[in-house]
Chain A
Amino acid sequence: MTDDDRVFRALADPTRRHLLDRLFERDGRTLTELESELEMTRFGVMKHLRVLEEAGLVVTRRRGREKLHYLNPVPIRLIHDRWIDKYRERQVSALADLKSELEDTA
């Protein structure tokens, strides 16, 4: 599985997207905090966090006895650069071509 595969797979699940949104609002949360907002067992939340961590979307840091979870936006930036910028560029250039064509014939 490539890095991109892992990121897309992690993002394909609504619970995992919800966890990322929670971290986006406030970063550096413990499992207990994240679990309190979900109708799910602790084990289930841990499993989802592990998938996010393997995809690099979540990075953990220890603070004393606590394990804090941080949202890592870099893989999403890489997906954006690889999959979104490229297609948008084509769209923009198509519009530019259309504009010049219309203006030429006017």
Chain B
Amino acid sequence: MLASLTPTTTWYLVLAAVLFSIGVVGVMVRRNPLVLFMCIELMLNAVNLTFVALARRLGDVGGQTTVFFVMVVAAAEVVVGLGIIVAILRRRPNATTDDLAELKG
């Protein structure tokens, strides 16, 4: 029975959903801004996995194109985000996300 079991698109989508919610929990629980950023990467990857699985299901390469652009934007986002985090941590070492309320104008 196990031999005839092949993973369908649904399996991939459910796996991506679980990965996404792990990222959501991480963003809400962790206080280190760097780890927070990694959790955002987890969520981005979950969505990428969804796109790729559905691209195969629909036989449409457009989903893969979207993932391609998401990766470019994610790379740019990480570069700018880490730049901001470096600037913050340089001023206040050991800053946690709770300390960032001082950005309020």
A binds B: no
Q: Which A residues contact B (CB, under 8 angstroms)?
A: none
Residues of B that sit less than 8 Å from A by CB: none
